Chains A and B, each alone.
Chain A
Amino acid sequence: MTSVPLGLPRRRVEFELDGETVHVLEGDTILDACTAAGKDIPTLCYGDTLTPKNACRVCVVEVEGARTLAPACSRRAEPGMKVRTGSERARHSRRLVLELLASSTDLSTTPHVAGWIEEYGAEPARFGPDAATVAGRGAKVDNDLYVREYGKCIMCYKCVDACGDQWQNTFAIAVAGRGFDTTIAVEHDGPLPDSACVYCGNCIEVCPTGALSFRSEYEMRAAGTWDEDAQTETTTICAYCGVGCNLTLHVQDNRIVKVGSPHDNPITRGNLCIKGRFGYQHVQNVQGTE
């Protein structure tokens, strides 16, 4: 007889966050507590639907008595813990992380990062014009649905986890190479259509920097017509099978330009298949001019 454990109810944990007493559930992270308390901690490699990878270190906080800084996204809250999110040591570390990332990759499409660079006083240019960077790597445009720009990749591994055992279980992409040449790639670093990719776009959903994007977004950005301020986001239900996935349609000028899914939705948890993510085109195939 097999028996899959259903789990027990969780206890409450009390600890001190920036001098205030807070309560979270056993197993919750410091980041969960910060979010509940309305504190804005920068994150890049953290994904709300993924197991923390601790790759980017931009969310570090100081735990009293600990030798090293702790990543808020993965460190579980413990009773009696004293956490400081804005200590000079934590802010200094974040500043350095932002300087290293911004000097070595193209963060031009990373949400929020410009604000963080300003807030933490990061100076990515201080390493000089010869600083090693991947920013010049060209975009891989090899199919009609999505584009890979590894010059924007910060190697957070979220796409690999989403494609792999955490969600999609397709295992089309993995980490290839060593050292500074490490990249995310499909097998033999070939084009997507020759790979195991099934075009679910769940990698795009989790990508924090825009290294992975809809072909429509990529082309509109290139043409200078991508305008997020002019876009609406509306969550509706997919037009295909009976599973009932929730789609968030990004619409600009009455055209669907991108499709996501709410991460807290009980059906999709941010994931879609090729039809849900890219199969919207049929509603906007109109002959002639409208």
Chain B
Amino acid sequence: MKDRNRNRTPKQYPRLTHPLVRGADGELHRATWEEALDAAARGFAATTDAHGPDAFGMFSCARSTNEMNYVAQKFARVVIGTNNVDSCNRTCHAPSVAGLSAVFGSGGGTSSYAEVEETDLIVMWGSNARFAHPIFFQHVLKGIRGGARMFAVDPRRTGTAEWADRWLGLDVGTDIPLAHAVAREIIHAGLANTAFVERATSGYEEYAAAVEPWTLAAAEQVTGVPAEAIRELAHAYATAERAQLCWTLGITEHHNATDNVRALINLALLTGHVGRHGSGLQPLRGQNNVQGGGDMGAIPNRLPGFQDILQPAVRERFETAWDAVIQPRYGLNLTEMLDGIERGTLKAVYCIGENPAQSEADNEHTVQRLRALDHLVVQDIFLTKTALLADVVLPASAAWCETEGTTTNSERRVQRVRKAVRPPGEARDDIDILCDLARRLGHDWKYGQAQEVWDELRAVSPDHAGMTYARLEEHQGIQWPCPSEDRLEPTYLHGRLWEADPERRGMRAAFGPVLHSPPVDLLDDDYPLRLTTGRRLDSYNTGVQSSGFASPLRRGENIELSPEDAAAYGVAHGEEVRVTSRRGSVTAPVWIDAGLRPGLAFMTLHFPDEVDTNQLTIEATCPIAGTAEYKAAAVRIDKLADRQAVPSWT
């Protein structure tokens, strides 16, 4: 029996080939570039004239180049005069950046992929890299084949866990109790690296007191992981010569995500597994330039080169370089900007290559907010759900193959992006569009080539100063920091923590005595199942890109259940069921996955046009980083009375 409403091929998005402007009839109509740019600029000017620069918000693009992100944040700061600029890093790894920069003063992962092959122990925590970061996982596999042990910490027994020596299947949102129990065991077994702790860290006493209640037995109660497995992880991590601690969104998509990140960093500080070849912390990032977007200052609290806006000397340098005044305070992040729309303080948004109407948690709410804007300009390669809400739609080039520039990956490697094809129709380069808008708003910007932008960035960012395009070509990318054109720095960060001279050792790395806070969306009799979300191998985010190719692996959206729960609810593989949370309700076919434990359900966010999972997710956000708790919703499933079972592949 076939369900006619469900199609195996997800919605495909054709490229945008000409600008669109919303007419008096309320519809989007084809327009010339002149008309569209005039309308876009007019709306921005009207908003800022009436409400000031902070009524403007820029959503920059984590899949565009560093050069475009640099120009976009400069547009917000110089042309408009606001620090309200952010990107979808907010929905994924902003907590990693916040946690790492709070401890080490730098927001990047501390190791390199190659070091995973030369380490003794790999911990994959809240990361299904086998599916989400497959080529990173090949480095992990090289490490395993070279003799390294691997522990997988994940509520699901994933494709990553299949390669682990041990899988620690914790309950969703109990990462801090597990990390604290590991720490307590390390301390009580006398395995802490006391020399490192004394010389290079601060706040140990408070931290030791915070983890003290988390005995192995207490942690087993809360996390569901056997005490003996926690003990084994603790001893393996503490006694390994070199160890890599890697995490993904299982750590960061929580309402207390920055605390989760701090809990993991604490373990590295306790054992000295940071700042050495083969020992370090690796957050695996989700978009090809989400690292670079932040590095370029397309975030509300940092200027290019990840330099703090609150430091007068930093601001002064940029004010001189840009001949502009920079507001001496942090701007709003993406989450706060969306709140600002609702409060009526943010009136205009320039959204480049982002799709918040589908990517934000509790997305119906987000759509309402975007509708409330006075002026929304969307610059994208597709007519996304967000673009359909816009006043002006500007067709852009696909950064990765239709423009020149650079991107920065998870190991801080800046690499060249090169133009291989011409964009379709009238689509134009992002930077050219930004410059045309800037000119209409009184700033005569001209960048002949991406390299001009890059050289301007190199002049203001010490971490990028030594990376000429020629050197990037020569070395197949260079990792930051790269302050000099004459040499390359070590592939790992924070080697300074091991210096004998306290002067050179620099700022101590602070332990974070964080506390456990369970998921906000509580389980009860009405919503007894814990729904978590993640990626599949062949699909990506809201599916706008990955729906474009015909993957033989694709099976559309499912509600994945454990065999035990499927039996308890009396639902069969392929049966369409209703999934309901406190915020919304969708229907999806059941997929039975033996890798799930009873009580745990799984969905992806890849097919929002067919099954809108983000109607279920909760907008509880991390107060420090603003990331929503996509990983933990409470749901129930109900049988559909009048429907027959349909195979989920139809």
Contact = CB atoms under 8 A, between A and B. Distances in A.
A267 B401 contact: no
A256 B548 CA distance: 13
B440 interface: no
Interface in A261-287: 262, 264-269, 271-276, 278-287
Nearest to B422: A254
B552 A192 contact: yes
B407 interface: yes
A238 B400 contact: yes
A4 B146 contact: yes
B291 A2 contact: no
Contacts of B476: 246, 262, 264-266
A285 B135 contact: no
Given A237-B288, A254-B421, A275 B147 contact: no
B1 interface: no
Contacts of A4: 118-120, 143, 146-148, 242
Nearest to A277: B549
Contacts of A2: 120-121, 147-149, 240-241
A280 B15 CA distance: 13
A241 B132 contact: yes
Interface residues of A, number: 62
A198 interface: yes
A242 B284 contact: yes
Interface centre among A199, A271, A282, by most chain B C-beta atoms within 10 angstroms, is: A282
A235 interface: yes
A243 B538 contact: no
Given A1-B239, A234-B420, A273-B135, A239 B113 contact: no
A237 B413 CA distance: 11
Contacts of B363: none
B446 interface: no
Given A267-B413, A274-B538, A245 B420 contact: no
Nearest to B114: A266
Contacts, number: 212
A111 interface: no
A237 B549 contact: no
Contacts of A244: 288, 407-411, 413, 415, 477
B240 A236 contact: no
Contact of A285 (B12, B136, B286, B537): B12
A243 to B, nearest CB: 5
Interface string B410-451: 110101111111101100000000000000000000000000
A285 B13 contact: yes
Interface string B8-44: 0000111101000000000000000000000000000
Interface stretch (A14-22, A99-107, A165-173): A165-173
Interface of A: 1-6, 143-145, 165, 167-169, 192-193, 197-200, 232, 234-246, 249, 251, 254-256, 262, 264-269, 271-276, 278-287, 290
25 contacts: A4-B147, A4-B148, A144-B549, A144-B550, A169-B138, A169-B141, A199-B538, A200-B134, A232-B420, A234-B420, A235-B418, A236-B417, A237-B416, A245-B135, A254-B421, A256-B420, A268-B135, A272-B135, A278-B549, A281-B548, A281-B550, A282-B381, A282-B545, A282-B546, A283-B401
